[in-house]
């Protein structure tokens, strides 16, 4: 884990192994799938997931963050995924499956379970699809979805109810748009992208020019938004279209809920952003960057590859050195921030000490002047 915590929401009472008929898997079967090793009863079976602190018999959980180590000794879960180097300090009642990376193993199981869920198919008669739109094979279009003129929809696309796909929008293959997503005209969504409910792609950027009379005149936003392949966008996020050119979200980017990306921003490959992050216009972000919750960056700056920002960081200038952690607002290097904060917490005591020293100095001056 990095010095800050991006809260990836994991699992809570999600019956991922169950379909219409309850399905169970033994610890040995799971271990074989994950190429792991069973410590305990290989025949014990699970049919559900649970958080480690809420584990119940018949559930599978995992231990990745060492903050939760105490729960492995008390959890009622039947099976726990752990890293192969985990050594218990006392007896554990659960069966362990040791793997290279318990977090990655969990993700693999979740992906497998999700693939077992039936995929929606067909086009609702209540959907409004332009005759000038192109709809790919195996598409699902829900009720009250709207697909406008010139839209091109790829294969295996799922468009849930009340989605709006504007004029000349392009959706690649295997795209999922959850209910209420709005894709404005001319935007491009790559292959294997997922956009969650309420997100708006391609609304106007915040462009207004001051006028002589003190008012603000709107600057037309004639660009678009491009999401490259394998991008996932959380719920109620907004990504504004460019004034000119494009706002570009590059391959593999993962963006949480309630994030604001302004016009002409470029987000580099495999960058992740936690909820309530805000990026101002024309900022260029490198690849493999990480933004904690409620962090923000001003406009027209460049952020180096691999930069990491703690929650509530304020990025007020360009970051030129790659692969460094930053914290605070205005931001500075995390170790420097921690040292400064340690001093900051002591300021009341230091103030009292200074006042006391001033009193003593005055007393000494009076003695010397006698």
Among residues 9, 196, 263, 331, the one annotated as catalytic is 263
263 catalytically annotated:
yes
The Cα 64–Cα 267 span in angstroms is 28
In order of 15, 52, 122, 243, the CA distances from 48 in angstroms are: 5, 12, 30, 48
Question: For the stretch 43-59, what's the b/e string if a residue is b when 16 or more beta carbons lie within 10 angstroms of its beta carbon?
Answer: ebbbbbbbbbeebeebb
User: CB neighbours of 358 closer than 8 A, spacing ≥ 6?
Assistant: none
Tally of CB atoms within 10 A around 222: 12
Full strand arrangement of the beta sheet holding 296-297 = 128-129, 146-147, 164-165, 182-183, 200-203, 238-240, 260-261, 278-279, 296-297, 314-315
Write out the catalytic residue numbers: 263
């Amino acid at each position: 884990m990095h010095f800050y915590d991006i809260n990836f929401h994991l699992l809570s009472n999600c019956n991922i192994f169950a379909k219409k008929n309850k399905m169970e898997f033994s610890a040995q079967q799971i271990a074989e799938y994950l190429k792991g090793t069973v410590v305990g009863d290989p025949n014990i079976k699970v049919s559900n997931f649970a958080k480690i602190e809420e584990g119940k018999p018949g559930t599978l959980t995992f231990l990745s963050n060492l903050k939760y180590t105490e729960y492995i000794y008390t959890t009622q879960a039947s099976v726990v995924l752990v890293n192969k180097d985990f050594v218990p300090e006392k007896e554990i009642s659960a069966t362990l499956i040791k793997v290279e990376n318990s977090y990655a193993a969990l993700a693999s199981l979740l992906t497998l379970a999700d693939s077992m869920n039936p995929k929606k198919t067909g086009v609702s008669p209540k959907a409004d699809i332009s005759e000038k739109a192109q709809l790919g094979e195996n598409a699902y279009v829900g009720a009250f979805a709207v697909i406008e003129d010139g839209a091109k929809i790829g294969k295996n696309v799922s468009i849930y109810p009340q989605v709006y796909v504007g004029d000349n929008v392009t959706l690649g293959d295997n795209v999922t748009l959850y209910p209420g997503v709005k894709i404005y005209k001319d935007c491009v969504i790559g292959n294997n992208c997922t956009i969650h409910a309420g997100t708006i792609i391609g609304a106007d950027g915040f462009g207004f020019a001051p006028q002589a009379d003190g008012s603000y005149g709107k600057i037309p936003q004639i660009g678009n938004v491009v999401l490259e392949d394998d991008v996932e966008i959380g719920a109620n996020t907004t990504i504004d279209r460019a004034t000119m050119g494009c706002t570009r979200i590059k391959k593999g980017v993962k963006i949480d809920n309630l994030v604001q990306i302004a016009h002409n921003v470029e987000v580099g490959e495999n960058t992740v952003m936690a909820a309530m992050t805000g990026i101002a216009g024309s900022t260029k972000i490198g690849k493999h960057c990480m933004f904690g919750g409620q962090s923000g960056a001003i406009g027209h700056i460049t952020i180096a590859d691999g930069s990491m920002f703690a929650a509530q960081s304020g990025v007020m200038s360009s970051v030129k050195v790659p692969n460094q952690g930053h914290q605070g607002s205005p931001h500075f290097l995390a170790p420097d921030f921690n040292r400064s904060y340690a001093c900051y917490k002591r300021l009341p005591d230091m103030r009292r000490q200074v006042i006391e020293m001033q009193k003593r100095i005055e007393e000494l001056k009076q003695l010397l002047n006698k």
